[in-house]
Amino acid sequence: MEQPSDNSEQKAERHKARQQKLKAGVDAKIAAAQDEKGILLVLTGNGKGKSTAGFGTVARAVGHGHKAAVVQFIKGTWECGERKLLEGAGVAFEVMGTGFTWETQDREKDTAAALKAWEVAEQWLKDESIQCLLLDELTYMVSYHYLDLERVLTALKERPPMQHVIITGRACHRAIIELADTVSEVQPIKHAFEAGIKAQPGFDY
Ligand code: ATP
Ligand code: MG
């Protein structure tokens, strides 16, 4: 015989009970999370959205009146929209003075450019007035051995305790992932480029 189906009142009650249980769990976790510290955030993976999420976090910091800075380790062919906006809001930028490495193919020149940008990053990693620092595309500098991993780890570890740092880029070194507090991997499900659509200003850069 067919079971009588629940009436909508019973369903609503069960839903309410489930939601209350969920809320109690979330509330307990919120109550338990009491510490504040500078977060090391890594945004990695092959999908689109790493740099935009990094810049989004910088925008949040600026919105709260915090001092923020950005080092871009790979300079694209075009100037990114975020720089135009954020420099106007007082965010300091250091942009590596070279094109994509796979375009220039001049290892010595690229290494010198990477070091120059990293030296600025190191200064900012000692500056406690900077509350949020984005190291965009830093991962490549380490994986292609333009920068020494130990040197990068040391500067990250010794930074001011309240400073937030965001590292973006594909194939992040395991040691940086281990050091990080929060790590997100962006997975590509699809990308318009594969359908022949080019990178567009105001959307891709
Ligand atoms: P975005 O700057 O849009 O947040 P991203 O930082 O995650 O992207 P990068 O690896 O830095 O990605 O690549 C930058 C450029 O390459 C952007 O123009 C982006 O649209 C494009 N791109 C990112 N992921 C892919 C992908 N899976 N296939 C093709 N192009 C991609
Ligand atoms: Mg990027």
Q: Which two tokens stand for residue 112?
A: 């010198």
3-class secondary-structure state, position 50 = helix
Residue 4 has pLDDT above 60, yes or no: no
Task: Give the ligand at the shortest distance from the Cα of 50.
Answer: 1
Q: Is the pLDDT of residue 180 over 90?
A: yes
Model confidence pLDDT, tens digit, residues 22-73: 989 888 888 888 888 999 999 999 999 999 999 999 999 999 999 999 999 9
Residues with CB under 5 A from ligand 2 (ion): 50-51
Q: Give the pair of three-digit tokens for residue 159.
A: 């930074």
Over range 181-200, report the average pLDDT: 95
What would the two tokens of residue 133 be? 């620092």
pLDDT tens for 116-156 read 999 999 999 999 999 999 999 999 999 999 999 999 999 99
User: Which residue minimizes the CA distance to atom 15 of ligand 1?
Assistant: 204
Nearest CA to ligand 1 atom 18: 204
- The alpha carbons of the chain give a radius of gyration, in whole angstroms, of 22
pLDDT 10s digits, 6-25: 688 999 999 999 999 998 98
